[in-house]
C-alpha cells in the first residue's frame, strides 16, 4: 500500500495508540513541571533565591536532563535484551509516581529547604523516565511498521509531545481559571500533578495490550541479543550517536521555548499578558505542532528523512526573528500566529526522527543508540534552553539575543544533516 494513505489495520492501530498515549502521558507529566517552573515554583519553592528565583526555577528543568542518559543507558540495555514493551511499562510507572508525588510536596514556607530538595529529587526521577521512554515508544512504532510507512508510524509517538503540551497547558489554564490567581498559586497548581494518577492507569491499560516488536522477537528467537549493547554501540557507532544528538538538540532547544515554559513566563511576567490567555495560545499552537509533525513523518516516507529535516531547519531559521518580533507586540492574536508558524519547522524536524534513528542503528544496539542519541541531544538542546534564554534576555535587555542563540543552534542541526546517510526502507533486522 502506498505511503500516501493514512490507514492502519487493527494491530497497527493498537501499536501506534500505545506509543502515542504513553508518550502523551509522559510528556504531560514532564511539561506541567516545566510550565509550573515559570509560573509557580519561583515563589512556592525558590523564593529564598531572591531576584534570581525565576532563574533558579528554570535551572531545575535542566537538572533532570543530566539523568536522561542514565535512564537511556538502563532502558536501552534492558530494551535491547528483554524487549521494548516491558521498558515502556516501567518508564510510564516511574514518571507517573514521581509526578503525583510532586503535587504533595509542601512549599518552602512550610518545610524550608527540604521543599526544593524534594522537588528536585522527583524531577530527577522524571528525567530517568524520560531518558528511557522515547526510544522504546519510537522503536515499537517503527519496528511494527511496513518499510514504506516507517516515517508516518514513527510520527505517532512524536505527536505525544504536542498533545502532552496541549493537555498540560489546558489543565493548567482550566485550573487557573477555576481557582483564580491567588488560590492557583497557593494550592490550585497541585491539581494537574495529582491528575497524573488517572492518566497513568489509562496508559498502563493501553500499553499492556500491545504486542512486542516483531523485529526484537526475531532477534530473541535467534538469540542474537547483545549482552552489553553499549560496548558495540560506542565501539562501532559513536559517530552516529553524536550526529543523532546534534540533530535532536537543534529541534529540542527551539521547542523548549514553549514546552520549557520560557515563552509563557516572558509573555506573563514581562509583557503582562493574562496567564490563562497565554496558556490558551500555546494550546492552539500545540495543534499546529501535531499537524506539522504528522506531515513531517508522511513527507519522510515520500522524499526521505534528511530532505524533510533540511527544509524544517531552514524554516525554523527563517522564522526565528519574525517570531520574537510578533511576540514582542504583546498582541495575543499576533502571538498565536507567531506560535503556530513557529511549530512548522519544529514538526518537520521532529516527525522523521524515529524512522531516521531506527534506520541508523543495527537491531542489537538500536534501543541503546536511539535512546542515548535522544538523551544527549536533550542535554545539548532543551536542558538549559529556558535558563539560557532568561539569562540572555536579562543581561542584554532584549529578547532578540534569544533569537540569535536559537538561530545558532538551528544552524548546527542543519549542518548535522549532511553528516549522516539516509536509508529509507532499509531492513531493520540484522
Q: Where are the domains of the chain?
A: 8-217+229-417
Running along the chain, 430 residues long, what does each successive block of 10 average in pLDDT?
Answer: 49 79 83 85 87 86 83 82 80 90 92 92 90 83 87 92 86 89 90 91 83 71 64 88 95 85 87 88 91 96 96 97 95 95 95 94 86 89 86 93 96 96 81
CA–CA separation, 186 and 287 (whole Å) = 30
Q: Note the pLDDT of residue 4.
A: 41
CA–CA separation, 232 and 271 (whole Å) = 51
Does an H or E element contain 248, and which? helix 238-259
Q: Is 397 exposed, middle or buried (0-12, 13-18, 19+ CB in 10 A)?
A: exposed
Q: Note the pLDDT of residue 212.
A: 74
Q: Note the pLDDT of residue 412.
A: 97
pTM attached to this predicted model: 0.83
Q: Note the pLDDT of residue 3.
A: 43
CA–CA separation, 166 and 88 (whole Å) = 22
Q: At what angle do helices 353-360 and 275-303 cross, to 10 degrees?
A: 50
Q: Note the pLDDT of residue 226.
A: 57
Domain range 8-217+229-417, its CATH number among 1.10.3210.10, 2.60.120.650, 1.10.645.10, 1.20.1250.20: 1.20.1250.20
CA–CA separation, 140 and 118 (whole Å) = 34
CA–CA separation, 360 and 350 (whole Å) = 16
Q: Note the pLDDT of residue 222.
A: 63
Question: Are 429 and 325 a contacting pair, CB within 8 Å?
Answer: no
Q: Note the pLDDT of residue 153.
A: 92
Amino acid at each position: 500500500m502506498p505511503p500516501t494513505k493514512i490507514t492502519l489495520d487493527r494491530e497497527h492501530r493498537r501499536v501506534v495508540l500505545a506509543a502515542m498515549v504513553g508518550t502523551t502521558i509522559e510528556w504531560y507529566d514532564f511539561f506541567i513541571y516545566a510550565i509550573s517552573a515559570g509560573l509557580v515554583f519561583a515563589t512556592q519553592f525558590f523564593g529564598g533565591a531572591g531576584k534570581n528565583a525565576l532563574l533558579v526555577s528554570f535551572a531545575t528543568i535542566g537538572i533532570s536532563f543530566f539523568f536522561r542518559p542514565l535512564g537511556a543507558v538502563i532502558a536501552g540495555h534492558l530494551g535491547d535484551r528483554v524487549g521494548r514493551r516491558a521498558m515502556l511499562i516501567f518508564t510510564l510507572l516511574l514518571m507517573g509516581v514521581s509526578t503525583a508525588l510532586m503535587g504533595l510536596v509542601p512549599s518552602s514556607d512550610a518545610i524550608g529547604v527540604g521543599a526544593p530538595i524534594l522537588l528536585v529529587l522527583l524531577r530527577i526521577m522524571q528525567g530517568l523516565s524520560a531518558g528511557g521512554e522515547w526510544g522504546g515508544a519510537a522503536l515499537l512504532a517503527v519496528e511494527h511498521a511496513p518499510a514504506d510507512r516507517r516515517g508516518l508510524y514513527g510520527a505517532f509517538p512524536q505527536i505525544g509531545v504536542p498533545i502532552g503540551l496541549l493537555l498540560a497547558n489546558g489543565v493548567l489554564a482550566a485550573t487557573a481559571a477555576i481557582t483564580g490567581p491567588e488560590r492557583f498559586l497557593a494550592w490550585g497548581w497541585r491539581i494537574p500533578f495529582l491528575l497524573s494518577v488517572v492518566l497513568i492507569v489509562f496508559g498502563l491499560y493501553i500499553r499492556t495490550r500491545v504486542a512486542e516488536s516483531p523485529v526484537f522477537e526475531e532477534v530473541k528467537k535467534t538469540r542474537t541479543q547483545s549482552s552489553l549493547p553499549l560496548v558495540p554501540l560506542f565501539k562501532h557507532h559513536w559517530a552516529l550517536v553524536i550526529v543523532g544528538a546534534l540533530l535532536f538538540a537543534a529541534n529540542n532547544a527551539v521547542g523548549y521555548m514553549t514546552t520549557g515554559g520560557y515563552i509563557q513566563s516572558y509573555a506573563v511576567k514581562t509583557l503582562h499578558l493574562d496567564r490563562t490567555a497565554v496558556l490558551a495560545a500555546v494550546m492552539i499552537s500545540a495543534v499546529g505542532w501535531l499537524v506539522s509533525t504528522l506531515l513531517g513523518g508522511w513527507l519522510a516516507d515520500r522524499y526521505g528523512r534528511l530532505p524533510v529535516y533540511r527544509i524544517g531547519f531552514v524554516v525554523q531559521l527563517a522564522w526565528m526573528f519574525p517570531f520574537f518580533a510578533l511576540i514582542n507586540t504583546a498582541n495575543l492574536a499576533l502571538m498565536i500566529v507567531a506560535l503556530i508558524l513557529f511549530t512548522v519547522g519544529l514538526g518537520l524536524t521532529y516527525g522523521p526522527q524515529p524512522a531516521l534513528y531506527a534506520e541508523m542503528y543495527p537491531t542489537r544496539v538500536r534501543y541503546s543508540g536511539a535512546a542515548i542519541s535522544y538523551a544527549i541531544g536533550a542535554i545539548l538542546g532543551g536542558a538549559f534552553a529556558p535558563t539560557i534564554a532568561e539569562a540572555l534576555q536579562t543581561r542584554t535587555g532584549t529578547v532578540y539575543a534569544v533569537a540569535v542563540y536559537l538561530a545558532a543552534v538551528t544552524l548546527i542541526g542543519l549542518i548535522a544533516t549532511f553528516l549522516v546517510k539516509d536509508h529509507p526502507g532499509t531492513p531493520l533486522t540484522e
